[in-house]
Structure 1
Amino acid sequence: MIRRRNITEITHFILLGFSDFPRIKALLFAVFLVIYVTTLTWNLSIIILIRMDSHLHTPMYFFLSNLFFLDISYVTSTAPKMLSDFFQEQHTITLVGCAVQYFFFAALGLTETCLMTAMAYDRYAAICNPLLYSSIMSPTLCVQMVLGSYMAGLSASLSQLCAILQLHFCGPNVIHHFFCDMPQLLVLSCTDTFFVRLLAAVLIIFYGIINVVVIIVSYGYIIISIMKITTAKGRSKAFNTCASHLTLVSLFYTSGMFVYLCSSSGGSSNFDRFASVFYTVMIPMLNPLIYSLRNKEIKDALKRLQKKGGYC
């Protein structure tokens, strides 16, 4: 702690995590470790499959491979620290370390929102303009959309990082969570947080509401186009190409809204922590499963890979 102007300024925090559940500590560690390893394995496996199979070198799977890479990075921004804290007596993290952890967590989450919007546009182009799809979704445009998503997420998170580093902490330094998140930091700050809250509100409107509106409008046109298809088989095929993405978007935004809008102030309750587990850890594990179960092209790619392996 540093003395400045007769105020004790906090330079480190204590992440409570799940240390107040000593009876199920070993069980929680095992469950979270299995989820983390499974997330890495599934996402990385599909990324490799997409890279190896030339039939999957399309805009849709280019976006998917980036989504799965984001999921790996997203869960890695919180899970390793959470797992290591199960074996630490003092679950400490420095103020800078806390801010950096939130920077990567927010950057990856915001990037994913932009990428899901780009994927919605890709599905719109594929179903509403199938004859012009190849010319609309050119490789150059796909790369630009992905890079734009990364730049948007990083720039927004960087602005929040700068705002957090301007805050001072002089009171309690216990964070009742398993990672550093904005609501917990704002509750512990002993300085005015109006600007940080205003910035967060602006980013929620820009990255949350606008992206959701774009996705809803895209799927509105998609539904109209699907209804115009005369054959039931054609409608089913068109719907299946969007069902996985729509499920992913629904899970991501619903869980995020619940955690940040419906949870208790500061997210300090036990229920809030376990709800955050679904948002930060479970969804990255479920995403490749959601796309694999209903995706015939991925199943066919797996069969081709198995045949190639058997031949070799």
Structure 2
Amino acid sequence: MSAIKITALRKSFNRVSVLKDVSIEVQKGEMVALIGSSGSGKSTLMRHLSGLTFADRSSPSSVEVLGRKVQKNGRPAKQLRATRARIGNVFQQFNLVNRLSVQTNVLIGALSRIPTYRSLLGWFTKEEKLKALQALESVGLREHALKRASYLSGGQQQRVAIARGLMQEAEVILADEPIASLDPESSRLVMETLQKINRELGITVVVTLHQVDYAQKYCRRAIALKEGEVYFDGPIEDLDTALLTDLYGTNIPEGSRGYQANELPEKLSDFELNPV
């Protein structure tokens, strides 16, 4: 069964076409990089997957996650709420409640599965609290469980967001520019965490990235958007310099692709895209 299936997706804002008949399929257990220049439609596409944005109603589009309809012809599916409970979202802005503890932020991932009265009271069982600690252990942050979320660094907060997805028992993680505002070391830890849960737990991960080198290092497949259309979809090693140059409209320095997992240069400036 496909984890994600998008068919003929179209989206316009103020009559400006942002997505143009996009069709994509992602298999369960894949970790896929969604790349492209700013304004190519990456974030808009991601928002359609969890029903935060809906397609143009004039388009015969369909979005399915884990075999369930999220939307069809620009209208939300009846089971959208239940489907959302199986999708974890990691945003660029972290989206944690800063005044709450790290553990409580993780426990929020369980809200879709507990009675309403308990969610209103913030009442979690001993077993749920233990599970939250286990999720934090998985992302390397158990020792920070009782700290306020605001005390953590940006990279640590992003890993808390991933732990929240584990608490949610999400089968698909959608990470939209999760390392855009992070330093290189924090970026590495976040991407390694996403890779770990993909490999060890079989969670499907789709991550949007501006950094081609991180896509090459952590993902086996890339989907590239250009001006709202699928420009490339295939193995990451097939993303050669010519394709990247055309995709970004830049000159890609020699040696900016094809690095193995243990060969990434220490200086990310080696990968800077130089305008033509």
Q: TM-score, normalised on structure 2? A: 0.26
- Judging by fraction of residues, say which structure has more helix: 1
Q: Which has the larger radius of gyration?
A: 1
Instruction: Report 1 or 2 for greater relative contact order, CA contacts < 8 Å, sequence distance ≥ 6.
Output: 1
Greater strand proportion: 2
Give TM-score, length-normalised by structure 1: 0.24
